[in-house]
A and B are shown apart, each in its own frame.
Chain A
């Protein structure tokens, strides 16, 4: 298992568009990917779970990957969040 903490930097946080591209990118990996936000775990491959978590700009998120290709998944996930989720 690998994990890393990052901060959400894009102004609107994980709203529909960024959440869609994020969950889509995570879906390509075979490992489990979770976002730990304020003590709760969110399935990073589930757009619905991400939206329900209502993750705003400035929030610290721990990305936790476990399983096949976990290092690669972690790098892409944290890279996407840190670069503002394409916004």
Chain B
């Protein structure tokens, strides 16, 4: 089995066709007749345009307008006045059309790849794609006909270029495996639009797989299984069946409001870790962001991010989400998340130690920079601030005092921000559960972090195999805590959400509906499935189940009872 990047979900089982790019070697010539070369170039260009315009219509039908725009971009790149004048300039100097096209394309490839911006770097692939195609046309080389692949083909290639993806008939291709590519490459976007499973970044894939070999493409886990045994194939066929059925079922919930069976409207948000993830929230139909982890800004680097850098990142997410709510959690480091340049000391008990809000309040300059960046960004959308690891009202008061000071400061400098910015707390410690009534008087919202709440309530380290069995959100103690927090928030009239993994668990959803949770925040890809689960339950039915479940004594009994309804 080979690991790669699962760039398009689903399971593909089929036979390999290895796509090797055509041999585009040629001998560069000089002293050519410019008129002849220009004519050759014009011919190739004509065929390029004809082919791509046809391709564009095909893509528009199979993958939609947005995907077709990529092909329009290719056409425009080649017709670009600057690009064509550079190519002609070279031909006028006696260079052959092949060399002229290649050197001008290479110039742009170099230019785009050196930019410190993922989106621009991706454009280098487009230019390289155009170059290959033009050279093929100029040299009269026939490339593998991707439009005529046998049924159940798993296409193995060095790289999936947009024009290749566009030729592909989704009736025939059941999976992609490539040596290059990332989740954000065009190929990945097109594969997802066509709903063809894809595993990218598999090393030496061209050598590893042979034409006609049976393989399984597991786009969910990002794995490729070569020459699988019969029982493995059977297992994957079942997975594929279930996956496709669930996908068809979920598709019915796109663009719908999230409502319980008896019509109560709840909010369905998504959890993200970078501003770029905000795109995933939209493409999965999330209604906002319930947890934006800010640690990414601080990790994998050698110094603290500046206030401005933070501001830009938060602003970017807000702009992408166009006015949808975005709950941003302030820095939650410590515990298992270590950041070398902060010089945090090793602790005996990091989970009970100097972390999250405790660390931030102890380093007010650093925390002020984050809060100021958040306030400045709040002018660009519906930003809400969330404080992690709260144990009582004094932490919340300290943060509010800092925010008030910063607001005065911003007012003096006439910098805009959201005056009524909501400040909420994460409920993830038993202490916060027990003083939830006090917190509810001063917080604008609650968000239950079930991962840590389960660990702290059960006093268990989920990483310790000997005690991990105790780690379960279905433990009666955890369920009672969740119910108590939701009831307390509702009594105080503040919204309460949940941003742990449990919010997307179909077994827990009836209980959350019964307790009256206002907002569910799940991984972007779980949005539609969660919307479907919520729509199955009415308050009355959910209440009946909750009553039974809360009368049970053990976690095992709870899991067994809830298992009946999945």
Residues on A close to B: CB < 8 A?
A: 10-12, 15-17, 20, 23-24, 27, 43, 45-49, 51-52, 54, 56-58
Residues of A within 8 A of B111 (CB): 52
- Shortest CB-to-CB span from A34 to chain B, Å, is 12
- CB–CB A17/B69 < 8 A: yes
Q: Is B83 in the interface zone, CB < 8 Å from A?
A: yes
Q: Which residue of B lies closest to A52 (CB)?
A: B111
Q: Is B117 in the interface zone, CB < 8 Å from A?
A: yes
- Shortest CB-to-CB span from B165 to chain A, Å, is 15
Q: Which residue of B lies closest to A27 (CB)?
A: B81
- Shortest CB-to-CB span from B45 to chain A, Å, is 16
- Shortest CB-to-CB span from A80 to chain B, Å, is 15
- CB–CB A45/B81 < 8 A: yes
Residues of B within 8 A of A46 (CB): 80-83
Q: Which residue of B lies closest to A49 (CB)?
A: B82
- CB–CB B83/A48 < 8 A: yes
- CB–CB A48/B77 < 8 A: yes
Chain B interface extent, by class: 20 to 34
- CB–CB B69/A15 < 8 A: no
Quick one: given A11-B320, A43-B81, are A58 and B315 in contact (CB under 8 Å)? yes
Q: Which of A20, A43, A47 has the most CB of B within 10 A?
A: A47
**Set A11, A24, A43, A54: member contacting B82, Cβ < 8 A:** A43
Q: Is B355 in the interface zone, CB < 8 Å from A?
A: no
Per the bound structure, the CA–CA distance linking A45 and B108 in Å amounts to: 16
- Total A-B residue contacts, Cβ distance less than 8 Å: 60
- CB–CB B316/A57 < 8 A: yes
Q: Is B119 in the interface zone, CB < 8 Å from A?
A: yes
Q: Is B445 in the interface zone, CB < 8 Å from A?
A: no
CB<8 Å pairs between A and B, sample of 5: A11-B316, A46-B81, A47-B80, A49-B80, A54-B115
- Shortest CB-to-CB span from A37 to chain B, Å, is 13
Residues on B close to A: CB < 8 A?
A: 66, 69-70, 72-73, 76-77, 80-83, 108, 111-112, 115, 117, 119-120, 123, 126, 312, 315-316, 319-320, 322
Among all A-B residue pairs, the 5 with the closest Cβ atoms:
A11-B319, A46-B82, A11-B320, A20-B73, A48-B80
Q: Which residue of A lies closest to B127 (CB)?
A: A48
Per the bound structure, the CA–CA distance linking A10 and B72 in Å amounts to: 20
Per the bound structure, the CA–CA distance linking A58 and B313 in Å amounts to: 12
Residues of A within 8 A of B316 (CB): 11, 57
Per the bound structure, the CA–CA distance linking A49 and B77 in Å amounts to: 10
Per the bound structure, the CA–CA distance linking A61 and B460 in Å amounts to: 56
**Set A15, A23, A54, A56: member contacting B76, Cβ < 8 A:** A23
- CB–CB B66/A17 < 8 A: yes
Q: Which of A27, A51, A58 has the most CB of B within 10 A?
A: A51
Q: Which residue of B lies closest to A56 (CB)?
A: B117
Q: Which residue of B lies closest to A18 (CB)?
A: B69
- CB–CB B319/A20 < 8 A: no
- CB–CB B117/A47 < 8 A: no
Q: Which residue of B lies closest to A13 (CB)?
A: B119
Residues of B within 8 A of A15 (CB): 119-120
- Shortest CB-to-CB span from B123 to chain A, Å, is 5
- Shortest CB-to-CB span from B108 to chain A, Å, is 6
- Shortest CB-to-CB span from A45 to chain B, Å, is 6
Residues of B within 8 A of A48 (CB): 77, 80, 82-83, 108
Residues of A within 8 A of B320 (CB): 11-12
- CB–CB B83/A54 < 8 A: no
- CB–CB B73/A47 < 8 A: yes
Residues of A within 8 A of B319 (CB): 10-11, 57
Per the bound structure, the CA–CA distance linking A43 and B322 in Å amounts to: 30
Residues of A within 8 A of B119 (CB): 12, 15-16
Per the bound structure, the CA–CA distance linking A12 and B111 in Å amounts to: 20
Q: Which of A43, A48, A52 has the most CB of B within 10 A?
A: A48
